[in-house]
A and B are shown apart, each in its own frame.
Chain A
Amino acid sequence: DTGVSQNPRHKITKRGQNVTFRCDPISEHNRLYWYRQTLGQGPEFLTYFQNEAQLEKSRLLSDRFSAERPKGSFSTLEIQRTEQGDSAMYLCASSLGWGGMNEQFFGPGTRLTVL
């Protein structure tokens, strides 16, 4: 399977704990995106990488959130001191990048529940 993969698929944690999610994009894709989706909403952009460079962060991404893509391949999204409002589906997507090919291919997501 050469699609986008995300791990874990589900994460339940207690408020105040730190969590880390991983995303493995499609191998030839140089762009990687993180989105968050809450109930009844569409995915909301959080941040994106062009290779290993993080080029934009949404205002939704508070200081408790940090994302990395150290070698331009997989990416991690860490949430420190989780809050109940962080409960959501966290989606990763990848794309080839420029040239009008805006299609982003999404992974299955990581569902976070903060108790």
Chain B
Amino acid sequence: DQQVKQNSPSLSVQEGRISILNCDYTNSMFDYFLWYKKYPAEGPTFLISISSIKDKNEDGRFTVFLNKSAKHLSLHIVPSQPGDSAVYFCAASAPGRDDKIIFGKGTRLHILP
């Protein structure tokens, strides 16, 4: 049972344009959402997060939007750069003592020259 769903296995975007990666979740107890970026042969790298009390968080070229009523979040990257080509994982955690993170399956982003 996938609690965090990334329905697009891959996405291709022209360099300089906006990349939008989507994520849906089913567990209404999730209160913290994260995006990780992964290059081949490396571990995931934390990118940006958002608490459920917010609907937007911005960090440089990266913005995460949260729509709690739709149980949907998205990551916007603008402008997209070649170095953004990677696998992006959406992840979520519920309140509790373990901060266990539940990951989606990932979306592979290709930035085209």
With contact pairs A42-B91, A91-B43, A108-B42 given, residues A102 and B105 touching in the complex (Cβ less than 8 Å):
no
Residues of chain B contacted by A65 (CB below 8 angstroms): none
Q: In the assembly, what is the distance between CA of A2 and CA of B49, in Å?
A: 22
Q: Which residues of B contact A107 (CB under 8 A)?
A: 43
Instruction: Give the total number of A-B pairs whose CB atoms are below 8 A apart.
Output: 62
Q: A31-B99, A40-B105, A41-B106 are in contact. List 8 more A-B contacts (CB 8 A).
A: A42-B91, A44-B103, A102-B32, A102-B99, A104-B101, A105-B46, A106-B36, A106-B44
Interface presence of B17 (CB below 8 A): no
Cβ of A100 < 8 Å from any Cβ of B? yes
Please list the 5 inter-chain residue pairs (A to B) with the smallest Cβ-Cβ separation, ordered nearest first: A42-B103, A106-B43, A102-B99, A103-B46, A106-B44
B41 touches A43 (CB 8 A): no
User: For the complex, is A82 an interface residue (Cβ under 8 Å from B)?
Assistant: no
Q: Is B1 an interface residue (CB 8 A)?
A: no
Contacts of B45-100 to chain A: CB distance below 8 A: 45-46, 49, 51, 89, 91, 93, 97-100
- A42-B103, A44-B103 in contact; A106/B34 too (CB < 8 A)? no
Name A's B-contacting residues (CB within 8 A): 4, 6, 31, 33, 40-45, 48, 50, 55-56, 91, 93, 95, 97-98, 100, 102-109
Give the CA-CA distance A100 to B34 in the complex, in Å: 12
B103: chain A residues at CB < 8 Å are 42-44
Q: Which residue of A lies closest to B48 (CB)?
A: A103
Smallest CB separation, B7 vs chain A (Å): 13
B9 to chain A, nearest CB (A): 8
User: By the criterion CB–CB under 8 Å, are A55 and B98 in contact?
Assistant: yes
B44→A102 contact, CB < 8 A: no
Q: Does B102 contact A (CB under 8 A)?
A: yes
Q: Closest residue to A45 on the B side, CB-wise?
A: B100
Residue of B nearest to A104 (CB): B101
Per-residue contact bits, chain B 2-46, to A (CB 8 Å; 1 contact, 0 not): 001000000000000000000000000000101010000111111
Name the residue of chain A whose CB is nearest to the CB of B97: A55
